[in-house]
Amino acid sequence: MKIAMVGTGYVGLVTGTCFADSGNRVTCVDINAAKIADLNAGKIPIYEPGLEELVVRNSEAGRLKFTTDLAAAVKDAELVYLGVGTPQGDDGAADLSALWAVVDGLAPHLKPDAAVVIKSTVPVGTNAETFARLREKTGRDCHVASNPEFLKEGAAIDDFMKPDRVVVGVRDPQVGEKLRLLYAPFLRTEKPFLVMSPESAELTKYVANAMLATKISFINTMANLTEKLGGDINDVRRGIGHDSRIGFAFLFPGVGYGGSCFPKDVRALEAMFERAGIDPVMLKAVDVINEAQKRTLLDKMTEFYEGQFAGKTFAIWGLAFKPRTDDIREAPALVLIDNLLAAGAKLRVHDPEAADNVRAIYGDKLTYCDQPLETLDGADALAINTEWAEFRQPDMNDVKRRLNAPVIFDGRNLYDRGLMQELGFTYYSIGRQT
């Protein structure tokens, strides 16, 4: 199939590249000329394992092209995928201005039988609004489908190639069949291809992310109680997880969720509730709990140092909002960094991929170390935000030797409490006793 993929952010680039890899001819479009020039030179604007290799391979095979020319990409396309950003607007709702600009721009060039497929995360009703807008611009009924994306940063290629399910929302069953064919190569393991109304498909995306965010805020709030009442949240997690109705996934306590999706999507869903005249009590709680959880390491440190941070130096491991990404959007580490800097502390930081993005914000206010152990030299304590694999088994004797004092604030429960005690560490973690 000939596909135009508009928007070369995370979702657009991965989707376009994976569709090219299954044999389609894909033209990716973006208004950012520098980004398109980089992509044409095989340079990938984000860190995502496996993506660069796939972009280069499919570009070399002539199946994947990058351009700023929307009209040229759309005029031959059978499917025009929209993967532009839908950031949080001032009122919490998704800002659709980029999407509308693209819809208006593509309308004059859309082939009569082509379908516009919305991949971006958009509020319920956007598909219908796109349909109406295209009718107004073209004078005819155009096909508009919704096909939400469920991939995770850091595992995006794998998630796209082996999805748990594919969801499409269509008005016309024929468009559903076309999309089924497009996805057939990715569903060979009998995972379901679910066809529903555009509204249900749009809602599915938000409900999935809100459910996952709720699980995280739920376990974090229980972890805070466990800390106060005694016990270990990891044991409680095991105790509940074996109940098959509950399970283990996405119930790891930590420093709160970040990234470009959960915070924004929870707030956008809140805005949809409000517009529907329903008080989004539960989602508000999920958000409030998460904002508080982002401060949990800071609170523990404030208690330990009685709020006296001036003249202290801290090592920080993990800046990205999660491992295997360089993304620092809404990352809990930034809350810790902002507050410790404001209180007069010096910070020595390390992240395997995200350091450059952090440097772009903080410049030389932080000391950047290439190696995790190097951050510890002369530091009064270590604080951990992200569970990168390389932080899991450091030589603890070396850690102790390098630190001024054997104190660790672990936001991801990476280490065995008993062992840390035996080694003589003061070890703070989440939902466990110190």
Catalytic residues: 261
Question: In this chain, which stretch among 20-28, 128-136, 145-153, 335-343 interacts with ligand UGA, using CB under 6 A?
Answer: 145-153
In the numeric block, the tokens 């920080």 are attached to 316
Among 20, 122, 251, 272, binds ligand UGA (CB under 6 A): 251
State the Cα torsion 89-104-30-270 to the nearest 10°: 20
Residue ranges at the known binding site for substrate? 150-153, 205, 250-254, 258, 322
Q: Which is nearer to ligand UGA, 345 or 354 (CB)?
A: 354
Q: How far apart are CA 316 and CA 375, in angstroms?
A: 7
Among 25, 322, 324, 348, binds ligand UGA (CB under 6 A): 322
State the Cα torsion 199-7-15-112 to the nearest 10°: 60
**112 CB neighbour count, 10 Å cutoff:** 9
* Smallest distance, ligand UGA to C-beta of residue 28, A: 18
212 near ligand UGA (CB under 6 A): yes
262 near ligand UGA (CB under 6 A): yes
* Smallest distance, ligand UGA to C-beta of residue 354, A: 12
153 near ligand UGA (CB under 6 A): yes
Q: How far apart are CA 252 and CA 219, in angstroms?
A: 7
Q: Which is nearer to ligand UGA, 23 or 247 (CB)?
A: 247
Q: Burial level of 362, CB count in 10 A (0-12/13-18/19+)?
A: middle
* Smallest distance, ligand UGA to C-beta of residue 120, A: 10
Residue ranges at the known binding site for NAD(+)? 30, 35, 86, 121, 153, 264, 329
321 near ligand UGA (CB under 6 A): yes
117 near ligand UGA (CB under 6 A): no
* Smallest distance, ligand UGA to C-beta of residue 286, A: 12
Residue ranges at the known binding site? 30, 35, 86, 121, 150-153, 205, 250-254, 258, 264, 322, 329
Q: With contact defined as beta carbons under 8 Å apart, do 88 and 267 qualify?
A: yes
290 near ligand UGA (CB under 6 A): no
Among 259, 318, 352, 372, binds ligand UGA (CB under 6 A): 259
250 near ligand UGA (CB under 6 A): yes
* Smallest distance, ligand UGA to C-beta of residue 323, A: 8
Residues near ligand UGA (CB under 6 A), total: 21
261 near ligand UGA (CB under 6 A): yes
218 near ligand UGA (CB under 6 A): no
Residue 300, C-beta contacts closer than 8 angstroms, at least 6 positions apart: 409, 428
Q: Which is nearer to ligand UGA, 250 or 362 (CB)?
A: 250
* Smallest distance, ligand UGA to C-beta of residue 5, A: 16
Q: Burial level of 306, CB count in 10 A (0-12/13-18/19+)?
A: exposed
In the numeric block, the tokens 């020595």 are attached to 348
* Smallest distance, ligand UGA to C-beta of residue 50, A: 15
Among candidates 391, 396, 384, 385, which has minimal Cα distance to 421?
A: 396
Q: How far apart are CA 30 and CA 36, in angstroms?
A: 7
Among 57, 75, 152, 400, binds ligand UGA (CB under 6 A): 152
Question: In this chain, which stretch among 79-87, 143-151, 187-195, 282-290 interacts with ligand UGA, using CB under 6 A?
Answer: 143-151
Strand order in the sheet with 381-384: 367-368, 346-350, 313-317, 381-384, 407-410, 426-428
* Smallest distance, ligand UGA to C-beta of residue 89, A: 17
| Footprint (CB under 6 A) of ligand UGA, residues 83-112 | none
Q: Which is nearer to ligand UGA, 209 or 313 (CB)?
A: 209
Q: Which is nearer to ligand UGA, 110 or 148 (CB)?
A: 148
Six token digits for residue 224: 């805070």
Q: Which is nearer to ligand UGA, 117 or 151 (CB)?
A: 151
Kindly list the residues in this chain that would bind ligand UGA in the complex (CB under 6 A): 121, 149-153, 209, 212, 216, 250-252, 254, 257-259, 261-262, 265, 321-322
